[in-house]
């Protein structure tokens, strides 16, 4: 392990990616101690700087909640990689970095002389990670994608929603974050391979394929004529939200009779429609209707704990407020308060994993171009006059 005690404390990443998937990957790398040099467009920066909501009263490039979260612990430099001078500077930086992460359309950086084939000649140990909608090859490689497109074309939406209605998109950006996690996993594997074999490689991450992997059970079932169909949600209303009783599978034989006693319906114990997990699954909506009379009078978290004590695989639908006060997340110190010079102090989610003996690094998101002098002056040896000329030309 590096001297600073962080897993990736000796790794430097040149991050050209934008939006969510790529920056989420580099955010995880930063949390493990890697130095992330985020390359942003002069003047406007990453597109997520202009994505709401803003933590301040008015929209501001330093106040986007999305940008602040995705870019914790990174350094920001501004650079126009489309200019000859900018491309030359990027090549110099790439020679000193371990990883380069990008999310441009396939072939775009190749046309600028900044693709993997060109940079590999300058730095054979470079690991070059490309995160795109469809990957670097295939008939769709040049097509545009989005969160909705990834969920739809990767097969996820086909499994979401009511059976007799249109498929639904999962809220938020599940595909983007899952793709970012795939990129992170592939990057860690590539780093291990470099340690063993001594050379870098090009890592090609596709959002569509990431979603297709997540739904691989559907494609396997389809080959046996059993493609899973959409089913109604196994949720029932509680006094203050929604609960999944979890009585349809994975429960002990004595759980159902004890549930019947708890809800005051001992007459249901031997009713064939509910006597086995398979029967309860087949008559799920009838079961939920019966349970609703009891759950409607109880708080969701109380229901959750009561059913869990009876060894049901129960759960409740947590709101954002529930997450902040969750005893589990509080005990594991999942949320951390981080201060920012423009956005102020806020709570940010931590890592989705723990590595024994390794501390997760919590650093604030950078201001646009905040580290220009540190990187260009301190690392590349440019003078203040050089930076002034580059700024005047719009290069940085």
Q: What pLDDT score does 360 carry?
A: 85
β-bridge partners, 37: 14, 75
On the question of a cis peptide bond just before residue 53, with omega within 30 degrees of 0, the verdict is yes
Beta-strand runs (E) in the chain? 12-15, 35-40, 75-78, 99-102, 127-132, 202-206, 236-237, 242-244, 315-316, 335-338, 346-349
The domain ranges of the chain are: 12-216+333-392, 236-316
Q: What pLDDT score does 5 carry?
A: 64
What is the number of residues in the chain?
Answer: 396
What angle is formed at CA 33 by the lines to CA 29 and CA 38, rounded to 5 degrees?
55
Confidence of residue 190 (pLDDT cuts 50, 70, 90): very high
Confidence of residue 2 (pLDDT cuts 50, 70, 90): low
Confidence of residue 158 (pLDDT cuts 50, 70, 90): confident
Q: What pTM was estimated for this model as a whole?
A: 0.92
CB 256 within 8 A of CB 249: no
The CATH topology of domain 236-316 is: formyl-coa transferase, domain 3 (3.30.1540)
CB 375 within 8 A of CB 13: no
Nearest to 288 by CA among 300, 299, 280, 279: 280
Report which DSSP code applies to 43: T
- What is the chain's mean pLDDT, rounded? 92
**What is the Cα Rg of the chain in Å?**
25
Q: Mean pLDDT lowest for which of 45-59, 89-103, 222-236?
A: 222-236
Written as one string, the DSSP assignment of 61-107 is TT-BHHHHHHTTT-EEEE--TTSHHHHHHHHHHHHT-SEEEE-SPTT
What is the Cα–Cα distance from 147 to 41, expressed in whole angstroms? Answer: 23
Residue 220 has pLDDT above 60, yes or no: no
The CATH topology of domain 12-216+333-392 is: Rossmann fold (3.40.50)
What is the Cα–Cα distance from 304 to 243, expressed in whole angstroms? Answer: 7
Confidence of residue 10 (pLDDT cuts 50, 70, 90): very high
Tens of pLDDT, residue by residue over 50-71, are 998 887 677 788 999 999 999 9
How many other CB atoms sit within 10 Å of the CB of residue 218? 17
What is the Cα–Cα distance from 204 to 222, expressed in whole angstroms? Answer: 27
CB 385 within 8 A of CB 392: no
Q: Mean pLDDT lowest for which of 23-37, 340-354, 382-396?
A: 340-354
Q: What pLDDT score does 1 carry?
A: 58
What angle is formed at CA 256 by the lines to CA 255 and CA 259, rounded to 5 degrees?
90
CB 300 within 8 A of CB 237: no
What is the Cα–Cα distance from 389 to 190, expressed in whole angstroms? Answer: 38
């Amino acid at each position: 392990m590096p001297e600073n005690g962080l897993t990736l404390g000796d790794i430097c990443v040149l991050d050209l990616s934008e939006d969510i998937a790529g920056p989420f990957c580099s955010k995880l790398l930063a949390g493990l101690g890697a130095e992330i040099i985020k390359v942003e467009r002069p003047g406007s920066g990453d597109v997520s700087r202009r994505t709401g909501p803003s933590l301040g009263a008015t929209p501001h490039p330093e106040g986007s909640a999305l940008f602040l979260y995705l870019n914790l612990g990174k350094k920001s430099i501004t650079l126009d990689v489309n200019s000859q001078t900018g491309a030359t500077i990027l090549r110099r930086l790439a020679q000193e970095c371990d990883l380069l992460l990008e999310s441009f359309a396939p072939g775009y950086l190749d046309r600028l002389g900044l693709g993997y084939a060109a940079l590999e000649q300058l730095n054979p140990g470079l690991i070059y990670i490309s995160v795109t909608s469809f990957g670097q090859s295939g008939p769709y490689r040049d097509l545009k994608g989005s969160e909705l497109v990834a969920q739809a074309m990767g097969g996820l939406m086909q499994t979401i929603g009511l059976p007799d209605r249109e498929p639904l998109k999962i809220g938020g950006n599940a595909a983007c974050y899952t793709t970012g996690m795939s990129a992170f996993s592939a990057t860690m594997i590539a780093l291990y391979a470099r340690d063993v074999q001594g050379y870098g490689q090009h890592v090609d991450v596709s959002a569509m394929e990431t979603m297709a992997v997540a739904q691989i059970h559907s494609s396997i079932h389809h080959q046996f004529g059993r493609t899973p169909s959409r089913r109604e949600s196994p949720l029932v209303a509680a006094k203050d939200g929604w609960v999944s009783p979890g009585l349809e599978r994975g429960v002990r034989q004595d759980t159902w009779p004890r549930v019947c006693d708890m809800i005051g319906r001992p007459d249901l114990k031997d009713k064939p429609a509910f006597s086995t997990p398979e029967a309860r699954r087949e008559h799920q909506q009838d079961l939920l209707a019966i349970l609703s009379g009891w759950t409607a009078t109880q708080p969701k978290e109380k229901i959750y704990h009561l059913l869990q004590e009876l060894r049901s695989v129960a759960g409740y639908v947590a709101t954002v407020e529930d997450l902040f006060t969750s005893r589990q997340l509080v005990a594991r110190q999942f949320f951390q308060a981080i201060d920012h010079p423009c956005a102020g102090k806020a709570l940010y989610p931590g890592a989705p994993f723990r590595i024994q003996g390794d501390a997760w690094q919590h650093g604030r998101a950078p201001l646009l171009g905040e580290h220009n002098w540190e990187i260009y002056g301190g690392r590349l040896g440019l003078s203040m006059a050089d930076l002034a000329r580059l700024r005047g030309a719009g290069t940085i």
